[in-house]
Amino acid sequence: MKIKCPACSNVLSIPDAAAGKVVKCPCGKQLRAPAAAGPPAAATPSATRPPATRPPSPARRPAAAPSNFDGDGFFDELTESDLQPVKAVNKPGRAEVRDHSAGAKLLNQYSPGSGGAAAAGGQRVADMTLATPGSRILATLLDGLMYAVIIGAGFGIGIAILAIFGAGPNGEPSAGVFLAFNIVTWASIAIAYLINIVLISKSGMSVGKKAMGIRMVNSQTGVTASFADGWFTRNVVFGFLTGIPVIGFIIAIVDLVYLFMDGHETLHDKLAKTMVVQN
Q: Is 62 inside any structural domain?
A: no
Which pLDDT value is given to residue 50?
A: 57
| 61 found inside a domain | no
Range(s) of the domain holding residue 11: 1-33
Residue 78 falls within a domain, yes or no? no
Say yes or no: 140 and 258 in one domain.
Answer: yes
Residue 103 clears pLDDT 70, i.e. is over it? no
Whether residues 132 and 27 fall in one domain: no
pLDDT tens string 133-169: 999 999 999 999 999 999 999 999 999 988 888 766 6
Evaluate whether residue 210 is within a structural domain.
yes
For residues 27 and 153, membership in a common domain is answered with no
Are residue 29 and residue 144 in the same domain, yes or no?
no
Task: Report if residue 189 sits inside a domain.
Answer: yes
Residues 137 and 247 in one domain: yes
- The residue with greater pLDDT, 223 or 59, is 223
Instruction: Quote the pLDDT of residue 213.
Output: 96
**244: in domain:** yes
Domain count along the chain: 2
Max Cα-Cα span within the chain:
147
Please tell me whether residues 163 and 271 are part of one structural domain. Answer: yes
What does the H/E/C string look like for the chain?
CEEECCCCCCEEECCHHHCCCEEECCCCCEEECCCCCCCCCCCCCCCCCCCCCCCCCCCCCCCCCCEECCCCCCCCCCCHHHHCCCCCCCCCCECCCCCCCCCCCCCECCCCCCCCHHHHCCCCHHHCCECCHHHHHHHHHHHHHHHHHHHHHHHHHHHHHHHHHCCCCCCCCCHHHHHHHHHHHHHHHHHHHHHHHHHHHHHCCCHHHHHHCEEEEECCCCCECCHHHHHHHHHHHHHHHHCCCCHHHHHHHHHHHHHCCCCCCCHHHHHHCEEEEEC
Q: Residue range 193-206: average pLDDT?
A: 95
Q: Answer whether residue 146 is part of any domain.
A: yes
| Predicted local distance difference test score (pLDDT) of residue 53 | 62
Taking only the tens place, the pLDDT of each residue in 207-258 is: 999 999 999 999 999 999 999 999 999 999 999 999 999 999 999 999 999 9
